[in-house]
Structure formats: structure tokens, C-alpha cells
Amino acid sequence: MRIYHKSSELKSTVEELKTQNRSIGMVPTMGALHQGHLSLIKQALDENDAVVVSIFVNPTQFNNPEDLEKYPRMLETDVELLKQLSDDIMVFAPSVEDIYGTDVESTSFSYDGLEHEMEGRFRDGHFDGVGTIVKRLFEIAQPDNAYFGEKDFQQLMIIKKLVEKYEIPVNVVGCPIYREDDGLAMSSRNIRLTPAHREASPFIYKTLQAAKVKFGTESAKAVTDWVESEFAANDLLELEYFIIADEQTLKTITEKTNSNTYRGFIAVYAGDVRLIDNIALN
């Protein structure tokens, strides 16, 4: 397994692979790898001749400096996990300077309004940071296919829009949410949960499952009000938002129709750890 710390070195290897007509898959991550990441990487290995896994905690997508500081960084452990999958994975673990130089700032992107919904309302500039790093990674690794989990469904839709609008020759593949046995969506942030908050956190997915059932017979407002009341009665979990949105536009709905598909999106604080999740409603 080779670990690349310089974008120029990875780009040189990738260009050589391209001359051999070998397909390249990519899984961008911020490290602290878990089974959810590994499921994406396994799919990439199955569907491509070569795979790049990037491990880079991107500073421009954090609107909370404390969250950036506390984000887990464990490159050696991550590499050992990857070795168990395949020795052929190319690990890209650049420095901030290699990616950004001396100007650590985001580029401003338009995603046709997708960036203003949900997370965009609560995390100012977040999706400019996401677009900046993903576009840069795509330029370096030149993947044919790139894999992203549906836990960050809004991010997935935004990256698809980025590729479409800026004509980037990458096929973006969305992969199902990978969960713990008790339903908690796997996240690198989960290791920061206290024992009490970890024990309480499956309530998030259980509530989403119940909301899906209710959505079959009740209005979007009624379901939203019910979810908010459930969290108001929970002493350990603080609801930031629950939104029912159209899957394509990500806009919050007031009425549902049989012709559209909808998804419930949620953000919750478990102490100082922010957890997100979502569920298809129809």
C-alpha cells in the first residue's frame, strides 16, 4: 500500500494508470474510518481497477472551529484498516498546505439552491467548503467513479450538482447508510459520544422509523410536530431540526403528492456532538 502526501505524486501515478486504460474509483473521507467508510471502499474495489481513498480533514467546511479542532485524526489506525481490505489501495493524505497553499479559503459555488436548504441554513459556508475540496480532489485523482454515503444525503446531491454544472467527468455513486446494530448511523463523530449519549442516540433512528410510518397517513406538519414533541421530552438529545423535504429539490414541503419522493432529515445534539441522519419516507 502506498501513502501519498503530495498531490503531484498521486497525480503522476493516476496519469500512468490512465495510459493503461485502468478505471479509477475514489472514496473521499476525513478519516477516523469506520465500517460505513469501508462499505464504500469495498464497492469501489469491486467496480474499479484501482482505488484512491483520501484522508483529509478539510478546514473550509467547518463553521465551528472547536468542531474542527476536536475532529478525530488517526491516520495510522485508518491505514491498518485499509490494509485489511486491500494492499492495492492508494491512500492520499495531504497536508492543508498541499491542498490550499497559503490561502485556506473556499471557492463560492452555486448549486441551484440546494445549498440553502437544511444544513445550509445552520452551517454557513459549509457547502462552499465541500465543493472546494471535492473539486480539488477530483482534479488530482481524476476518478471515473466516486462514492459517497447517503447519510450525508444533501452533500451527495450537492456533489452531483457540482459535477453536472461544472462538467466534471466523474460518475457520482450514492451508497446506503451503514448503521450500528442498534440503528445509529455510523459516523466518525460517534467515538466522541459519552457512554450516556451513546446509549441514548439510537432514539434518533427509532424516531425516524416511526415518522416514516406516520407519514403514510398523516400530514407533513403533523409528523414534524410529533418528532419535535418526542425530542422535547428527551433529556439527553437536543433536536436542531427535523425537516421533511422533496428528495430532488431538498425544499421543505407543506403538502405531499403521489408523484414526488420525500425524505425526512434530522440533526441532533448529543451533548456537544452533532449527529445527522435521514430516511426515505415513500
Q: Are 141 and 28 in contact (CB under 8 A)?
A: no
Handedness of CA 45, 139, 30, 119 (dihedral sign): negative
C-alpha to C-alpha distances, 10 to 4, 6, 27, 53, 84, nearest whole angstrom: 6, 7, 14, 11, 22
Is residue 85 packed enough to be buried (19+ CB in 10 Å), middle (13-18) or exposed (0-12)? middle
Among the listed residues 5, 34, 37, 116, the single catalytic one is 37
| CA 258 vs CA 209, 264, 281: distances in Å | 20, 16, 12
**Within a 10 A sphere around the Cβ of 142, how many other Cβ atoms?**
19
* Alpha carbon distance 7, 27 (integer Å): 16
Q: Cell numbers for 265, please give them.
A: 432529515
Q: Within 10 A of 221 (CB to CB), how many other CB atoms are there?
A: 12
Question: What are φ and ψ of residue 25, in 5° steps?
Answer: -105, 150
Quote the CA–CA distance of 184 and 190 in Å, as a whole number. 9
Q: Which residues have CB under 8 Å from 217's CB, separation 6+?
A: none
197 as an active site residue: the answer is no
CB-CB contact of 29 with 54 (8 Å)? yes
Active-site residues, by number, are 37
